[in-house]
């Protein structure tokens, strides 16, 4: 069965407009904040706008691909303390592409060790900094997808098959959505080169990977069932995106802020240690400490973790204002932490 069958055009089974809604909320809220609050919210608006532009670039490519594919945008998966915010799942009749969108400014170099180095021109002076590997980040998404799909099977044989062949049918790809970004991957391994592309290469990449795949193409009906099997795993999480700005409202007092906080849940005040965002940041800290074979508090201690939640930085300059987060830590862990924090904005 070929790539083109009865289904002829791409179809979004889930599109997300939460980011647009949040952007409007922040813009409406900005005039109500004091000067300090306006500085913070302007930075958040800029980061959010940048992310929206990147994801729109990818959506444009997919919508104009003229491929028979199903697309899920902005899928949130959760299993205990593990979670993943996946930008796009693109289902073809042979492969599901797990897409991590990065709208990075500056130029990106991938070294022979697989490290990601970003170069930024600051008034004629080039600044180089390491960034957390989006390949590693997306691999964690894949691992959670595999876990959930395997556990959803009814018997040991089907669980074994689902786990054993998961990577044959699901492929990770990082898409650089900024058209001005120059990607230099000449020293990267062949495996890594095949996982990082520019947005304008996405459609060609999908076609090439499909044609090279030796898997048997499934029917239109099975394709839809496959896509829906991940759609039902998506968790809708209601979050208060604007609470962090309450202390900066014009005329706000300490008592006003306390009353507002209590009004969210008068019967039960949840300790910060029991919130989802605290658990997410704690789980990430544990995972990184095991990976680097160091104590978790070397990455950040509980007080610094709480400070991350209170200040919700989405840019490195904001992060470096938090005690314990200097240039090195911001460069090493910043992007990954930002991805966690962003889930509680949109």
| Helix axes of 134-151 and 156-164: crossing angle, nearest 10 degrees | 160
**C-alpha distance from residue 130 to each of 49, 105, 286, 327, 334 (Å):** 23, 13, 21, 11, 10
Q: What CATH code would you report for 270-342?
A: 1.10.150.80
CB contact at 8 A, 262 and 269? yes
Q: Where are the domains of the chain?
A: 11-231, 270-342
> What does the block give as tokens for 198?
């520019």
What are residue 142's phi and psi, to 5 degrees?
A: -60, -40
**Within 10 A of 74 (CB to CB), how many other CB atoms are there?**
19
Reading the chain (346 residues) residue by residue, the pLDDT tens digits are 344 456 789 999 998 767 788 888 899 999 998 888 888 888 888 878 878 888 888 999 999 999 999 999 999 999 888 888 899 999 999 999 999 998 877 888 988 888 888 888 777 788 888 888 889 899 999 999 999 999 888 888 888 878 888 999 999 999 998 888 888 888 888 888 889 999 999 999 999 999 999 999 999 999 999 999 999 999 887 666 777 888 888 876 545 444 344 444 433 445 778 777 888 899 999 999 999 999 998 999 988 888 888 777 878 888 888 888 988 998 999 888 888 887 665 3
Other CB atoms within a 10 A radius of the CB of residue 302 amount to 15
């Amino acid at each position: 069965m070929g790539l083109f069958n009865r289904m002829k055009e791409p179809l979004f089974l889930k599109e997300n407009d939460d980011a647009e809604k949040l952007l409007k909320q922040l813009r409406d809220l900005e005039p109500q904040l004091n000067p300090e609050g306006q500085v913070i919210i302007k930075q958040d608006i800029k980061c959010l706008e940048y992310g929206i532009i990147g994801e729109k670039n990818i959506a444009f490519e997919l919508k104009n691909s003229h491929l028979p594919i199903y697309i899920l945008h902005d899928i949130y998966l959760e299993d205990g303390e593990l979670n993943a915010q996946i930008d796009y799942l693109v289902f073809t009749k042979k492969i599901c592409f797990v897409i991590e969108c990065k709208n990075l400014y500056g130029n990106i170099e991938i070294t022979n060790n697989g490290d990601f180095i970003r170069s930024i021109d600051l008034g004629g002076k080039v600044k180089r900094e390491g960034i957390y590997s989006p390949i590693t980040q997306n691999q964690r998404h894949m691992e959670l997808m595999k876990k959930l799909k395997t556990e959803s099977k009814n018997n040991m044989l089907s669980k074994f098959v689902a786990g054993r062949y998961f990577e044959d049918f699901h492929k990770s790809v990082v898409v650089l959505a900024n058209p001005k970004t120059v990607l230099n991957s000449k020293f990267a391994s062949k495996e890594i080169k095949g996982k990082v592309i520019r947005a304008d290469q996405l459609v060609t990449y999908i076609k090439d990977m499909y044609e090279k795949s030796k898997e048997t193409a499934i029917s239109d009906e099975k394709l839809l069932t496959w896509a829906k099997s991940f759609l039902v795993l998506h968790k809708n999480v209601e979050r208060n995106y604007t609470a962090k700005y309450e202390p900066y409202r014009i005329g706000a007092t300490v008592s006003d802020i306390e009353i507002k906080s209590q009004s969210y849940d008068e019967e039960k005040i949840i300790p910060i240690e029991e919130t989802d965002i605290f658990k997410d940041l704690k789980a990430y800290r544990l995972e990184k400490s095991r990976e680097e074979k160091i104590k978790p508090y070397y990455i950040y201690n509980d007080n610094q973790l709480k400070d991350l939640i209170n200040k919700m930085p989405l840019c490195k300059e904001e992060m470096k204002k938090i005690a314990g987060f200097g240039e090195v830590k911001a460069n090493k862990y910043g992007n990954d932490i930002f991805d966690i924090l962003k889930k509680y904005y949109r």
